[in-house]
Structure 1
């Protein structure tokens, strides 16, 4: 019976102790390695052993974000088509419709694609071209169709657009080989996290490992595996030539350089396993990613159309609120009664964004928006900001109700824009006023309020408000 040890820390300690015993036994016969270097190598080796014991078995069979079935992709394509169809209903002659429909047709064909696309990416001079040459030669004799291509270098100087171009190329890949020449920089780590978030299966390749001493190489590899958890492979696509010295019997010495063979066997083996076992799933994963990007593109066009329709509606109601507050000035804290968007505006904006409200539901939404504004302190802040701008003009400032009127208009605008941004994020129609996500709505309100707090905007807005409320003051001012 085979006994499986369940305590890797204990076993790791025994393994390291055994290594130290070996070190003592060999101490007098090993003279070419420093004591520190060998101890470091043994310690790192023990760490690697521990890592391997804790590493999930079959990690290459559990790639992050990989799609296991075709139905998931077909559903994503259907959702993208639904948004495109909605865009067709609301803007039947929109110039983006034809390109969007073509992309849908391509996606459907993509589901049965046989060729696997492998992108090789990384910073400048990490060995992308050399690795592609070696890998391509190994796949030419195989039945499975695999194409390798390199992206534009990442992490160039500020202002360089190669990073954006590289990500566009990576979106087309079924699998990614991300090359690094050492431990990860912050930029490399962030990029790998972005790839993971985008559901792009990736192997991190520690290339040019031959340029490190043995203990340094093991330390870098351990660090990479700890940060990335899985799928890290060390290679030497183009090893540095080594100097060979031969001592002859007559005492002469001959020297020459030899070119070591490339070391990519482990990478080729792992890549072969992935492509042999999960080729179809990789294709589906790429199709799913493209379907989601297509849906987002169509949604952006749809939101742009709707925003163009919503803007004049918000402007109409903000000046209605201004006139009402100016005609009937109320205490500052009660201004929320006129500043919060009214129920009819909620309904009008809801109709534009296919978020249907009854009158009762719209009133609930309006009241909720007003309460949030009051709790967040937006009413007081807006009144103070408007008062500050108005103080620069004594004629308009002393006029009764101007502060309340302009503040009401300003808050109505903020509330309207907040609802627009909130609606743009919705997937389905809201069935009732209680379906509002108050946390998200609160965050949206704060964000929109801050965006509209710039002094230049406030000055222009107040000027517009005064012009509407006190047209005769313009001539005096």
Structure 2
């Protein structure tokens, strides 16, 4: 798994623009590599605002590692600290922002992201689950991380009430959390009143902090780490790497499509103007064929599948043959317009320039998109062949809007 992550980080085919746009994700991969090498198990402490997530983390650690406050939204950024008592097991707690703070959409997004790249999730509640908490629990379960559901502030309830609440939580979490992984804790129990009687039999009332009651949860976490910690880390790193690879692939494809669109547009302009202004009959169409072949060569470079001039010429011939079969009438109009130039000694260029140039533009778009399809599918037309692929591309494009844009652009250029 470490080799797979390292390969993703070092992949030379990923463009710099994609790396920059996904810098945070690549940093996560580096973090995952580090924790795999250190054999750490990352645990996200998750829940709604004021359920006591930070206090629970501190109780497990035995020190104040996470900020705890009375105001909503004390935790605004993810933080992490090693679980000192379990350093040999490599447990690392990650405290996350609350899911339900008003105006805290960005913090909620951060919390879900942290949970997604963690190995195990501790979901903290302080009573029966709200609809929002049940929705969050289902979303987290969909990340395929092991889940523990913890009833915090259990000291506020009587034994009977606590058992009733635990049973309700087990019912809400049925199919998402194992029954034995629904536990009760008291991260910051209320202070206890202590009554002392002095030598004169006078009562003196004081309060003292009660110790945290998190032993059951800590024992459960250590048992999971001991039994399946390494496996969980490897599986979850693999899941994240798989998703990231899909995202990178999508970004690279989008970047290539953007660059390819720019290339096609450049050739649309060059070809349409050249076709419109060339006064020699049919020669403009031959010139157009040369531009099409050059465009296809450049598209091959964009998609990392270089084509020779011969290959590009043959590809253009296949595409134009299919286009001619589909759109013979349109190509006939272009041939007639080309012939008109010769019959009138070039005087009809102004009359036919915009119309013929627009057709040249449209043809370039069709050839460019068809060549893209061929390259994206690995120099292949797919199982249905060139005829079906070209027909689908023709059907997917709005001819009228392309011709309108082309005419406007050509007239603008001719005015110059």
User: TM-score, length-normalised on structure 1?
Assistant: 0.50
Q: Report the Cα offset of residue 98 of structure 1.
A: 11
Distance in 1 between residues matched to 2:321 and 2:177, nearest whole Å: 45
Partner deviation per Cα, 1:66-111 (whole Å, 9 max, x = no partner): xxxxxx4423432443xx3224xx779x989999999877665543
The corresponding residue for 1:40 is: none
Alignment of 1:279 with 2:208, yes or no, is no
Q: Is the 8 A contact 2:357 2:406 kept in 1?
A: no
Q: Report the Cα offset of residue 165 of structure 1.
A: 3.1
Task: Call closer, same or farther: CA 1:286–1:322 in 2, change over 3 Å.
Answer: same
The corresponding residue for 1:133 is: 58
Distance in 1 between residues matched to 2:50 and 2:237, nearest whole Å: 31
Q: Is the 8 A contact 2:43 2:120 kept in 1?
A: yes
The corresponding residue for 1:223 is: 172
Q: Report the Cα offset of residue 122 of structure 1.
A: 1.9
Distance in 1 between residues matched to 2:270 and 2:110, nearest whole Å: 48
Distance in 2 between residues matched to 1:326 and 1:231, nearest whole Å: 78
Distance in 1 between residues matched to 2:34 and 2:231, nearest whole Å: 15
Q: Report the Cα offset of residue 324 of structure 1.
A: 9.7
Q: Is the 8 A contact 2:293 2:312 kept in 1?
A: yes
Q: Is the 8 A contact 2:275 2:357 kept in 1?
A: yes
1:175 to 110, 120, 124: 120
Q: Report the Cα offset of residue 150 of structure 1.
A: 0.7
Distance in 1 between residues matched to 2:374 and 2:101, nearest whole Å: 37
Q: Is the 8 A contact 2:152 2:186 kept in 1?
A: yes
Q: Is the 8 A contact 1:346 1:365 kept in 2?
A: no
Distance in 1 between residues matched to 2:110 and 2:213, nearest whole Å: 30
1:117 to 36, 42, 61: 42
2:380 to 432, 440, 447: 432
User: TM-score, length-normalised on structure 2?
Assistant: 0.55
The corresponding residue for 1:77 is: 6
1:144 to 89, 99, 107: 89
The corresponding residue for 2:266 is: 316
Distance in 1 between residues matched to 2:133 and 2:323, nearest whole Å: 43
Distance in 2 between residues matched to 1:196 and 1:76, nearest whole Å: 23
The corresponding residue for 2:147 is: 202
Moved more, 146-155 or 100-109: 100-109
Q: Report the Cα offset of residue 344 of structure 1.
A: 6.7
Secondary structure of the 1:161 match is helix
Task: Call closer, same or farther: CA 1:416–1:169 in 2, change over 3 Å.
Answer: farther
Distance in 2 between residues matched to 1:231 and 1:355, nearest whole Å: 55
Question: What is the root-mean-square deviation in Å for CA atoms of aligned residues?
Answer: 5.9
Secondary structure of the 1:148 match is strand
The corresponding residue for 1:233 is: 182
2:100 to 149, 152, 155: 155
Query: Which sections of structure 1, spanning at least 5 residues, go unmatched?
Result: 1-71, 245-255, 328-337, 380-398
Distance in 1 between residues matched to 2:249 and 2:149, nearest whole Å: 34
The corresponding residue for 1:86 is: 13
Q: Is the 8 A contact 1:80 1:298 kept in 2?
A: no
Q: Report the Cα offset of residue 128 of structure 1.
A: 0.2
The corresponding residue for 1:67 is: none
Q: Is the 8 A contact 1:241 1:257 kept in 2?
A: no
Secondary structure of the 1:154 match is coil
Distance in 2 between residues matched to 1:342 and 1:468, nearest whole Å: 18
Task: Call closer, same or farther: CA 1:344–1:193 in 2, change over 3 Å.
Answer: farther
The corresponding residue for 1:354 is: 304
